[in-house]
Amino acid sequence: MFGDLFEEDYSSVSNNHYGKGKKLKTKALEPPAPREFTNLSGIRNQGGTCYLNSLLQTLHFTPEFREALFSLGPEELGSLEDKDKPDAKVRIIPLQLQRLFAQLLLLDQDAASTTDLTDSFGWTSNEEMRQHDVQELNRILFSALETSLVGTSGHDLINRLYHGTIVNQIVCKECKNVSEKQEDFLDLTVAVKNVSGLEDALWNMYVEEEVFDCDNLYHCGTCDRLVKAAKSAKLRKLPPFLTVSLLRFNFDFVKCERYKETSCYTFPLRINLKPFCEQSELDDLEYMYDLFSVIIHKGGCYGGHYHVYIKDVDHLGNWQFPEGKSNLDVNLKDQKEEAIDDPLMILKAILLQEESNLIPVDQLGQKLLKKIGISWNKKYRKQYGPLRKFLQLHSQIFLLSSDESTVRLLKDYSLQAESDFQRNDQQVFKTLTSKSPGLNDRPSCPHWFDINDSKVQPIKEKAIEQQFQGKESAYMLFYRKSQLQRPPEARANPRYKVPCHLLNEMDAANIELQIKRAECDSTNNNFELHLHLGPHYRFFNGALHPVVSQTESVWDLTFDKRKTLGDLRQSIFQLLEFWEGDMVLSVAKFVPAGLHIYQTLDGDDLMLCEVDIADGEDIFVWNGVEVGGIQIPTGGDCEPLLLNVLSLTPSGEGGECQQLIESPRVFPSNAQLGTVFSALAIPEGVVVLISNTESIGEESWTTVPKEDLKKTFREQGLRNGSSILIQDSSSDNSLLTKQGKWITGVNDTDWLQVKNLCQLESEEEQVKVSATVNTVVFDIRIKAIKELKLMKELAENSCLRPIDRNGKLLCPVLDSYTLKEAGLKMGSSLGLCPGKAPTSSQLFLFFAVGSDVQPGTEMEIIVEETTSVRDCLKVMLEKSGLSGDTWHLRKMDWCYEAGEPLCEEDATLKELMISSGDALLLTEGKLPPLGFLKVPVWWYQPRIPSHPWKSRQDQASCTFSQGGDWRAASTQGAPSDGHAEGSLLFLGDVDISEDAALVELKSQAMTLPSFSEFCIPSPAFLRAWTVDSKRPGRLLRFHHQQLKEYKLGRRTEICLEPLQKEENLGPQDMLLRTQMRLPGKRAYTLPMDMVWDTARGSTAGSLRQRVADFYSLPVEKTEIAKYFPEKFEWLPVSSWNQQITKRKKKKKQDNLQGAPYYLKDGDTIGVKNLLVEDDDDFSTVRDDIAREKQKQLALGKKSQEALHVQSSDVASGAETPARPRGPEASLSIHVGSFR
């Protein structure tokens, strides 16, 4: 009723039924998850039913209502099994409500479904997606229940529990005659505006009198004249359960729009209604009411979500919530976080717990994972490097064995650390054992829960005070009489007064759920391992290779990952009856050189899921030492690298000619580069060049200095596929020249060019400074200052900045960097500029204002990398001379266009991966809150034979002009030289959560003011597209998919297209606009939508067959072409244009989704019937005019007499209208007649 007052929740529904791993394995649909620790069940949101869920949970936690409904048996209500019988009178709504309550009480699932209940309401899928008001639903649901229960013992159920009366009285001041009128109510509607709270509102309504005097006299029937009088209202009869509806939503008659009242409005946990009642002679306890439910609306007048705070009267749930963290708890948390962040403390603690303080390094990593729940590589590697390297760097604490396989604490340090560790450990132990008493320990403490669709969590009673005001505030209040006491047997007993047939149904359903969960659990926890048997392998050329074949050497084993490594070892022993001696299991991986062993699995008591074994992992089974009598190197450090080695060998007579030989060689990555000489039996007086690129060219080669030959292959940056070139140093010419392929002079450029940009006079404008890749930038700067003969003071206040090919100055280079670290190539140009370079903890940023940014106009700032986005924005605004709080920052891409905004204002630049040299844009306008999108929405009207939904002004055919108005288009059904480009009309912006679904976006768009011109029955009759280049771009399918899964981004615009009927496109369906060519005319009929199933291949033959069937034409007489609107060209689709790849010379089947057609949703396909028109021309007169205009524009002829092309491009200057809403949809529940 009040617009989009809900938010979708698809957390419990997923379309993805596939597990992650090396293999894509089909995963069965999982049963619903069991209840969480609260032992209460939520209700799944069907898309827009959060308002229904909140009310149903309130009724469910009203035990008297629930039990009164349960008391009605099948003899009165009928049976759901008979609902389809024509003569059976089955009261479906109360039956489905009974069944839902039984599921909420007894069925072991985290969330129940309301699909059966809403089906009994007569709701369609559109109704379940449509937004409604919970106060309106409360009245309509009670009315439907009253109608459904006519003629049963429960006919007065609603009246008995919720019905009250109000008496309105007018007392004549002259004759004291009392005129009264009685009104019934099921809920009290109270004002919120200009009222401080509930008691204040009730006082205004039922205590204060309205006096009729002066010009506003009352006509008394007894006196028969105008007299002074007093009008008042009182509560005459109070119901057991009092429902209060708060009027949060009002209308502003000045702005002509709705708004939500978010001011503070208090309400008590216990209220005494005696002052507001007509009869007040009874005891105060008769008038006391306790709050037990608060339905909360979060959001504004045009968007939001419902959830409910509920008091668990019967203590059905498990309410365990700490009263608050003590200082001791906070200190303990800080100690734990500090310990986890310090790897030294963690590793020392692990080693001190070992008997001899000695442990294998691999096992140390496993124990670290078990202790803190995260591996070394994920937690510390980026900051501290590999584990072994870390241990080596802290040699004053840790002692590694000679082969680096084991580690222990140094003895002197061990004694000192052990005493410190024990002292700290005792302190932490004391902290752990002193727990704060929870609220659950107090029996008198009420148990409150926050039920938010599927999610249920305990809350404190104090949390209710947070719902007094704001955008998330109370909307409905439910009170129960304090005198209503629950029987002791109902406490913590969910089976209390549940009918036997429902108990049996729920018990059977729970057994079925347990069986399904056990099956699913078994399926999900099994993974596949590939066992490589050591005796079937041999070691040669630096890696392991099968002796016979890969098939015979590998065994596949399916195993439960919840079992331990010892269980896996025992299972393999049983499989391999021939095995003798020790068995070691190691993780292996295939590399280009062969199979390599990386890590040995230790710790038989660890579960497989704890040792980081993935599905489809390769496990090498061996004795841990040798294979075939050869000792095997293991670990990532000695991973074999397959390299291409190029060298010269003599050929021809006398060996005068030399030939370049390329041979693949395998080397351990931790071996020194100089081992190449011994492997190839080459003397060391040669030059070595290396290349890390796939293509061999002069620019990719780097000479290795003699001192670097002692570095390892990995330190030199070599990887699989890298090349090594061996060249004689005594040769005058380069080897590259002799081959005639490469240019000479690999080391020609050993200098950098430095330009004087300090605005100081100098004899030289630029100088060349000699350098190598290891030269420090500081040395180059000082040399340049000396050679330019500039002042020595510049040494303290200058920096070097690279100059790109366009002459732009880039980010300053740190003085401490070498040229290699700074990424500077020999021969580069640098600018000597005034000002210090940023430190290693600072960022040098470019920024500009607005969107029309030209290269070279950016400003520059230096900020700390720990600066927040908000502070950085302030600095940039100050430097730009701007003010105000309606600005935000965006990243700028390489083509000077605005990229994604920096939404997290409190995040640091470092956390957002902003680095030196990045460019930011100061953009006007405030960003939507984090997790929300501001989506511009357009109305798209394609040129189709008939309008599915006409506007209220009966605008049957129209296009949108550049000025923003609608103008008439061609006559319906008449030939047209245009194409399927329809018209776009800007509707407005929609603020929506990224977690919302596409259908919710459509629903909100339907409430925009401009949308009121169109009569669309439901969101299902709208097709959504992204807007690309002022045209529909990507088709957004799947109504219930969350917007964040579409990865729309914050600049995406959406257009909505009306449909004649609902559609449900599959992932393989392609939507095309087809137009039939009119014979004898260079024109087409109006376009028609055609769906093409590409599941069997998107080939030309398949498309031609689909088009022929669509137009009832013979396929051999059907010709088709794709239209390219940017070029105004048609490309015929032929079945014979099969492409031939250059390398394999093999024909591959044509795919229209690839080059040159790139066919996608929304493309226009021209259709020609060769029976009546046999030519190759698909173009129209409009295409000729448009191409001519493009040609004139390309030649620079922009005359006013240029031909006008009737284009239906989007008007870019459309203004965003205000936000009044469209027509409201009424809420109804369909009930049969039982009178």
Active site residues: 50, 305
910: left (phi over 0), alpha (psi -120 to 50) or beta: alpha
Report how far residue 687's alpha carbon sits from residue 725's, in angstroms, rounded to the nearest whole number.
8
- The token pair at 613 is 């074994």
Which of the 8 DSSP states describes residue 564?
B
Helix, strand, or coil (residue 120)? helix
**From the CB of residue 500, how many other CB atoms can be counted at a distance below 10 Å?**
8
CA distance 1051 to 1054: 10
Tokens encoding 90: 């089955």
Ordered alpha helix ranges (H), 342-405: 343-352, 361-372, 376-379, 381-384, 387-393
**Would you state the structure tokens that stand for residue 430, as one six-digit string?**
């004391």
Residue 979 CA to its chain's centroid (Å): 37
Strands 42-43 and 111-112: parallel
Contact 195, 204 (CB under 8 A): yes
* Measured distance CA(1161)–CA(942) in Å, rounded: 14
CB-CB neighbours of 281 under 10 Å:
7
Q: How many CA atoms lie within 13 A of 433 on its CB side?
A: 6
| 1216 and 988 Cβ atoms separated by less than 8 Å | yes
Closest by Cα among 225, 858, 202 to 477: 202
Tokens of residue 262, six digits:
């978010």
Angle between helices 92-106 and 50-60 (to 10 degrees): 80
3-state secondary structure of 204: helix
**1133: number of Cβ within 10 Å:** 22
* Contact in structure between 704 and 673 (CB atoms under 8 Å): yes
Cα–Cα distance measured from residue 618 to residue 23, given in angstroms and rounded to the nearest whole number: 13
For residue 677, the surrounding DSSP H or E stretch is helix 675-680
Any idea which residue has 């006299």 for tokens? 217
DSSP 266: B
CA distance linking residue 587 with residue 202, whole number of Å: 74
Give me 962's structure tokens: 């550049």
CA distance 30 to 826: 60
Pairwise CA distance, residues 10 & 14, whole Å: 7
DSSP string, 900-916: EE---TTSBTTTTT--T
What's the maximum distance between 2 C-alpha atoms anywhere in the chain?
A: 144
Backbone angles phi, psi at 575, to 5 degrees: -70, -40
Q: Could you give the 3-state DSSP secondary structure of residue 890?
A: strand
